[in-house]
Structure 1
């Protein structure tokens, strides 16, 4: 479970980014980011570990809790199959994260 010690020491915003779609042979790569202005509400810390360890229901609960916190900025970006072919999967993933 994350403890956010480094983020607390830095005193700034806390951001988490994850992507999906790097493994499949077809389809876009999609990235999402969540940013908190300062710190992460305690009740959310347990939910914010590794999304792959969460069940679909737990992910839905985490999303609702993030939205309800009123502090989270949420963004989603994608890179198309054509961009993956042109750039390679790593650079397409980074592009999706930037978007």
Structure 2
């Protein structure tokens, strides 16, 4: 079974959340941030609220990715024969040792 697919022509809460996360992420990546060039300004203000917006985006991304991880872990429970066609997340979850994927990896 393949991982989730998101049809952006349809609208549901999960698709809308992903759409908003991606939009905000790209907007922040492309934004000019004075703090990148004038780091001392960081102590006084964040004129375009880049840090505030990034701080708000990080928990949303973590929640979304953790949801995907949990969904894949449910597929891996004994008795589920849904791993006939594993996807990339299944491969990551199958790693052991130091490479093992966990929610702690999402600590930023």
**What's the TM-score once normalised by structure 2's chain length?**
0.23
State which structure, 1 or 2, has the greater radius of gyration over its C-alpha atoms: 2
**What's the TM-score once normalised by structure 1's chain length?**
0.24
More helix by percentage? 2
More strand by percentage? 1
